[in-house]
Structure formats: C-alpha cells, structure tokens
Amino acid sequence: MIVMYHKVDIITPSRWWVSIDKFREQIGLLEKFHFVHLDDYEPSGTSQVIITFDDAYENVYTHAFPVLKKRRIPFEVFIIGDVLGDWNDFDTSEAKTRFCSQWQLQEMAEYGARIQWHTRNHSRLTRLDQAEIEIQLAVPKELTAMFPQPHFRWFAYPYGAHDQHIVAQVRERFAGALSVNNGSPGDRYQINRVTADEDWTPYTETSCSAPTGMHPPFKLTQSRARKELSPR
C-alpha cells in the first residue's frame, strides 16, 4: 500500500492537512507493516507500506520528519522544482504555507527520504502542449547533482492528472509513477495511492490480499469515501 500525505501541522484547514498527533497515530498503526522505499515496492506484497509526501511542504520537515526519523522509517518526498523555499501562491484555495528549502530536503535525504519529481511548477500535464510537457518532466541538472540516484527515479502526477500520452513520456524518464485514485491497477506508471487525511485510520485487522496487489489492504473511513476530491 502506498499512502499519500500533503501537509502535517498543528492546524488542519482542509483535508490536505493532517494534525501532528494524528500523523503520529497513523504511523504507529502502520508500524505492524513493513516500511519500504518505492524502489523496493512489490505490488503483490501486502505487508509493504510506502509513505509519500506530495509538494514537499516545510511543515512536513518540521512536524512529520522528526516522527519518521526517530523510527528510521523510509519515505518519499515529491518536490515541485521551481518553488523550493517559496510559498504556495499557485494554490489559492489553500491556506498559505511554505515549501521545503534545498537544505531541508538534504537533511531529510540523510535520514530516509528519497527526493522524487512532481514537475517544475505543478502544472496539470494533460492541458499542456508537447514542449511544455517536456519542460515539466525534466529534472534540472542542479537538482540531480544535489540529489543523485537513487533520487528522482519516481514521478507523481500533479492533481493525479494523466492520460496515455503523458504516461508514455513519463515511462521514458522514470522508474514508475503515482496517481491517486484514477490509476490503473497493474501499471507501474499509474499506481494508485491512499489519501491519508485527518479521518483516515489504517484498517488494523488482518490484511487482505487483492489479486492485483494495487489495492490497499486497508479500508477507507466513511467520511473519506464521501469526499473524493482531486489531490493537490
């Protein structure tokens, strides 16, 4: 199962935020499973859990990172390359918050984080022409120099938005790619994730194995099932 977080903080202004206490509780409940990096992900392995953070907000460094570091849990951070250390001005529906700096990413990378790609400026790829798509998918050299392999091997589609044209180009550049809930089971370039919000509780009973291995061995809470929105 692959879990998707965005912001972890004291406040929770929208469903894209999880409180620190809830985050710690959710991670604690997940500890009975095996935390791995995406590179070690085996779709048929129902005991695996992968923690992902989209957008790389500073509150992840401040609040989630210490919890993961203390437990030595591997995790994945999908960055928006052009906004490091900047503010989330493009996301007008969300409370103002800052993105991680390069130095914060470097520190996390020293303690279990793999830095992954989430485009240059969080564009919805399905609306771009070919030249723009290529710009968005290319990781700048200064970042690959700072974070060499095994970083930047995985990609996450902004808003989960992708089509076959986009998938084909991502396939040429990355080892795999993550969507949210509109992926395609069995396709390493359209892997679905579970959105962890404040109401989410990992299903703590015996895990169930789905044939595709792409479905989480966890049950969604009712409140989450009601409000399935596009991810940020």
Which residues in this chain contact Zn ion in the complex, by CB under 5 A?
54-55, 158, 232
Give 55 or 58: the residue with its C-beta nearer to Zn ion. 55
Give 224 or 232: the residue with its C-beta nearer to Zn ion. 232
The least CB distance from residue 192 to Zn ion, in Å, is 15
The least CB distance from residue 219 to Zn ion, in Å, is 25
Residue 32 exposed, middle or buried by CB count within 10 Å (0-12, 13-18, 19+): exposed
Give 7 or 24: the residue with its C-beta nearer to Zn ion. 7
Tell me how far apart the alpha carbons of residues 131 and 117 are, in angstroms, rounded to a whole number: 18
Tell me how far apart the alpha carbons of residues 158 and 26 are, in angstroms, rounded to a whole number: 24
The least CB distance from residue 91 to Zn ion, in Å, is 9
Helices 130-137, 164-173: inter-axial angle, 10-degree rounding: 40
The least CB distance from residue 204 to Zn ion, in Å, is 29
> DSSP states of 73-127 as a string?
--EEEEE-GGGTTSB-TT-TTS---BBPPHHHHHHHHHTTEEEEE--SS---GGG
SS3 176: strand
Give 55 or 198: the residue with its C-beta nearer to Zn ion. 55
Point out the residue whose Cβ comes nearest to Zn ion. 54
Give 33 or 155: the residue with its C-beta nearer to Zn ion. 155
The least CB distance from residue 78 to Zn ion, in Å, is 7
